[in-house]
Amino acid sequence: MLSKRLEGIGEYYFSTKLREIDDMNKAGKNVINLGIGSPDLPPHPDVIKTLQEESAKPNTHAYQSYKGSPVLRQAIADWYKTWYNVELNADSEILPLIGSKEGIMHICMTYLNEGDKVLLPNPGYPTYCSAVKLAGGTCMDYELTAENNWFPDFTAIDTRGVKLMFVNYPQMPTGQLPSINLFEQLIAFAKQHSILIIHDNPYSFILNDEPMSLLSIAGAKDVVIELNSLSKSQNMAGWRVGMMIANKQRIDEVLRFKSNMDSGMFLPVQLAAAKALALGRDWYDSINAVYAQRRLKVFQLLDLLNCSYSKNQVGMFVWAKAPASPTPPKEGQKATGYELSDAVLYGSNVFITPGGIFGNAGDGYVRVSLCCKEEKIEESIERINAFLNPSTGGA
């Protein structure tokens, strides 16, 4: 019999959708998946070489420290100083994680009691709410809108009983960049209402020349825990290397929970991650050149679907507003991202993500991933064109 903590926790949308797509592929549909944000590019060759060399050593296979290798912690501190201009104590203010998704759960389990309220962005990453519910907390949405640049309306947020607030800039799924003013408002808001802010920051290097950390704002360490990851910026999603950055008290508190739930990462992975964090601007420029070309193709695809979007968004997705009716339109039917996504999937065997999975504020939107080779995006355009113009063969 299932535990009560799983009540209201459904299977992750992508988990069920990928099974459906797998069934379609078994039936010969050959679906092109433009939905998932899993980098298809490899890490730097030196990172792979480090993993190979360190794995071959006989003394690297034991259990590791719960706090992570000092080499990795120092590499994280150097990375934060170089790119975010944030000074960190490598011994006390950094906790390596087996992926930052793990950190979301650890934080919720560390701080939440039954019924504690947590502010979550809508639209936002669904895992935030799942982790809050699993920890016994109560999810409280704060709506983000295009009219407000996908920033919170602090005057409209009910802070009664709120313990934590999740924020995520560059924002996922909208690709909205932060501003210094926004970050300053967040710190002031947190201090005014005694709220601990969890800033999830994995997208700051993708198609963005000026990465920002919320911890760069004066006083932020008093009220902020920041999560970061090598999944996107270093093409290491499957390696599961993340980090939690906070003051010593917060690190020690979360470590009390984490140390009872897992052990340290495989040491060669940590040493390879340290190598990845030491890469220079050439690395980021090289991967962003690829994503920039792919984004131009995705713009073409979205134009074909009559979607509207901002060209100023960053990250490895494009967030777009669905047209007034599904494509092709059906009489009396209103478009949502789900309807547009399904119409494209079943009509052209191309999957794009419905915005509604990120909250009801995303119902009228879709999200397209850049984690697919240009030729596959071009093939997607051809398929969708043929679907929309069957009488002309897509011409």
pLDDT 10s digits, 48-106: 999 999 999 999 998 888 899 999 999 999 999 999 999 999 999 999 999 999 999 99
The pLDDT value recorded for residue 266 is: 94
Which residue type does 147 have?
E
The pLDDT value recorded for residue 332 is: 43
> Do the domain assignments include residue 395?
no
Taking alpha carbons only, the member of 161, 99, 107, 160 closest to residue 135 is 107
Query: Burial level of 393, CB count in 10 A (0-12/13-18/19+)?
Result: exposed
Q: How far apart are CA 136 and CA 394, in angstroms?
A: 52
Same domain, 179 and 221: yes
Can you give the CATH number for the domain in which 168 is found? Answer: 3.40.640.10
The pLDDT value recorded for residue 11 is: 60
Same domain, 105 and 37: no
Decide if 375 contacts 55 (C-beta within 8 A): no
The pLDDT value recorded for residue 5 is: 77
Same domain, 66 and 189: yes
Which residue type does 395 have?
A
Same domain, 233 and 287: no
Decide if 246 contacts 88 (C-beta within 8 A): no
Write out the DSSP string of 80-113.
Answer: IIIII-----TTTSEEEESSHHHHHHHHHHHH--
The confidence band for 36, taking pLDDT boundaries of 50, 70 and 90, is confident
Decide if 126 contacts 12 (C-beta within 8 A): yes
Beta strands (DSSP E) in 247-295 are none
Can you give the CATH number for the domain in which 25 is found? Answer: 3.90.1150.10
Mean pLDDT of 103-111: 97
Q: What is the DSSP letter of 318?
A: E
3-state secondary structure of 148: helix
Last residue of a domain, one of 279, 294, 312: 279
The pLDDT value recorded for residue 325 is: 58
Query: Burial level of 201, CB count in 10 A (0-12/13-18/19+)?
Result: buried
Last residue of a domain, one of 214, 247, 279: 279
- Is a pLDDT exceeding 50 seen at residue 125? yes
Decide if 94 contacts 226 (C-beta within 8 A): no
Residues contacting 19, CB < 8 A, separation 6+: none
Q: What is the DSSP letter of 28?
A: T
The pLDDT value recorded for residue 331 is: 47
The confidence band for 27, taking pLDDT boundaries of 50, 70 and 90, is very high
The pLDDT value recorded for residue 192 is: 97
Owning domain of residue 104: 45-279
The confidence band for 38, taking pLDDT boundaries of 50, 70 and 90, is confident
Same domain, 329 and 374: yes
Same domain, 51 and 28: no
Q: How far apart are CA 316 and CA 210, in angstroms?
A: 16
Specify the number of domains making up the chain. Answer: 2
pLDDT 10s digits, 158-167: 999 999 999 9
List the helix and strand counts (H, then E) for the chain. 11, 13
pLDDT 10s digits, 229-264: 999 999 999 999 999 999 999 999 999 999 998 888
pLDDT 10s digits, 267-291: 999 999 999 999 999 999 999 999 9
Residue 21: φ, ψ to 5°: -65, -35
Last residue of a domain, one of 279, 296, 320: 279
pLDDT 10s digits, 292-351: 999 999 999 999 999 999 999 999 999 999 987 555 545 444 457 889 999 999 999 999
